[in-house]
Amino acid sequence: MPAPHGPRRRARIAFSDSAAKQLDTITSAAELHALDRALVVISVDPDAGEPLPGTAAGPRLREYADDVERVRLLYWVSALGTVVVVAFIEV
């Protein structure tokens, strides 16, 4: 029996201005690898992170933490499924 839907597409990743500035300061290959790994996780499953407390007035921020790679991402998911990374924070 064929699947009711085709394979799930990865979400598109976009960076806020502050996250783009953080990205520009990364010089270590290990840090880039850690960030890439975390971005893959949230692009495959945008709900992987935990919702942060907030109000319904703005976008609902989520936090994804990877203790193995020691990285944390703050992001929100747009109505069209684009993941917007607000900040890349080392733990």
Beta strands (DSSP E) in 24-69 are: 50-51, 62-66
**pTM of the predicted protein model:** 0.80
**pLDDT score for 1:** 47
**pLDDT score for 91:** 46
Residue 53 and residue 33 in contact, taking contact as beta carbons nearer than 8 Å: no
Q: Rounded to whole angstroms, what are the CA distances from 5 to 8, 11, 78, 83?
A: 8, 16, 21, 21
Phi, psi dihedrals of residue 24, rounded to the nearest 5°? -65, -25
Residue 17 and residue 85 in contact, taking contact as beta carbons nearer than 8 Å: no
**pLDDT score for 74:** 92
Tens of pLDDT, residue by residue over 23-52, are: 899 888 988 888 999 999 999 999 999 998
**pLDDT score for 54:** 76
